[in-house]
């Protein structure tokens, strides 16, 4: 179970990340990830995660209800932050992030 304090901490963590990539980079990254059949392992459904911006993730986090908090744990939100950080690096076309994706997909 999590509380509003943990959600606020997670929102703060997302807020300080680098600015979002432009729409073209977001779309290109999506196409490349889909071409590799990549889907991040998240324990809760974040609609449209692969095309999400910081604003989208923050909006999602602020929409979590008291009832939903009962079934969430800190790891659920940590996975969102982890995968969003990776997604941002992919959108900036950082070679190490793409190497990581390639290694994951080879292991499958």
Residue span of the structural domain in which 9 resides: 4-107
Q: How high is the pLDDT of residue 107? A: 63
Q: Over the chain (108 residues), what is each successive 10-residue block's mean pLDDT?
A: 94 97 98 94 96 98 94 96 98 96 80
pTM above 0.85, yes or no: yes
Q: How high is the pLDDT of residue 104? A: 85
Q: How high is the pLDDT of residue 108? A: 54
**Complete DSSP assignment for 33-98:** HHHTT-----SS--TTGGG--HHHHHHHHHT--HHHHTT--HHHHHHHHHHHHHHHHHHTT-HHHH
Number of domains in the chain: 1
């Amino acid at each position: 179970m999590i509380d509003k304090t943990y959600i606020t901490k997670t929102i703060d963590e997302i807020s300080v990340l680098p600015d979002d990539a432009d729409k073209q980079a977001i779309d290109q990254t999506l196409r490349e990830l889909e071409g590799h059949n990549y889907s991040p392992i998240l324990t809760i459904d974040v609609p449209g995660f692969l095309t999400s911006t910081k604003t989208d993730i923050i909006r999602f986090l602020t929409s979590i209800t008291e009832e939903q908090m009962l079934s969430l744990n800190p790891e659920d939100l940590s996975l969102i932050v982890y995968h969003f950080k990776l997604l941002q690096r992919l959108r900036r076309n950082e070679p190490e992030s793409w190497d990581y994706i390639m290694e994951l997909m080879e292991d499958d």
